[in-house]
Amino acid sequence: MCVFCGIARGEKPAHVVLERDCCLAFLDVRPLFEGHCLLIPKDHYETLADVPDSLVTPLFSAARLLATAMERVLGAEGSFVAINNKVSQSVPHLHVHVVPRRRKDGLRGFFWPRTKYEDEHAMAEVAARLRDGVAGLAAADS
């Protein structure tokens, strides 16, 4: 059984910090920093691509609320909001990491090594491919 479905159903304990009809946020057991939250849809969707449109707004709105609350009550100076989709995703139930940040908090290792585009042309080519992909998906949706 999916561990996050267990938490969503209240069958597995978790430190819940926010609950809505469609989603739930709780503390990550292996936090980057204290207050690191995982926000999940209560229904089981594996990746961001699987999440229905009707859920995107309430889910992201809850992420925004959590990020704002962290600054208010945890003294965070900002936050990091991220989703691992498939790669580096250890729990196959979509979860949004909402992590409190402070300047010079050392959170560098969370990022993979940065790369560089060969030149402007290479950058433009990748951008064009992505624009085509986005246009194709948007057309398929309409």
Positions marked catalytic: 95
Examine residue 47 and tell whether it contacts ligand DGP (CB under 6 A). no
Tell me which of 43, 47, 65, 84 binds ligand DGP, using CB under 6 A: 84
Tell me which of 11, 52, 54, 90 binds ligand DGP, using CB under 6 A: 90
Q: Are 40 and 23 in contact (CB under 8 A)?
A: yes
Judged by DSSP in three states, 129 sits in helix
Bridge partners for 79 per DSSP: 100
* Shortest Cβ 136–ligand DGP spacing (Å): 28
Whole-angstrom CA distances from 1 to 5, 26, 41, 64 are 7, 19, 16, 29
Examine residue 37 and tell whether it contacts ligand DGP (CB under 6 A). no
Tokens for 98? 């909402």
Q: Tell me the residue length of the chain.
A: 142
Q: Which CB sits closer to ligand DGP, 14 or 66? A: 14
- Measured CA to CA, the distance from residue 31 to residue 28 in angstroms comes to 5
Instruction: Find where tokens 């999440």 sit.
Output: 51
Instruction: Mark residues 5-24: x for contact with ligand DGP by CB under 6 A, - for none.
Output: ---------x----------
Examine residue 26 and tell whether it contacts ligand DGP (CB under 6 A). yes
CB neighbourhood size of 15 (10 A):
11
By CB under 6 A, how many residues form the interface with ligand DGP? 13
Interface residue list for ligand DGP (CB under 6 A): 3, 14, 26-30, 38, 84, 88-91
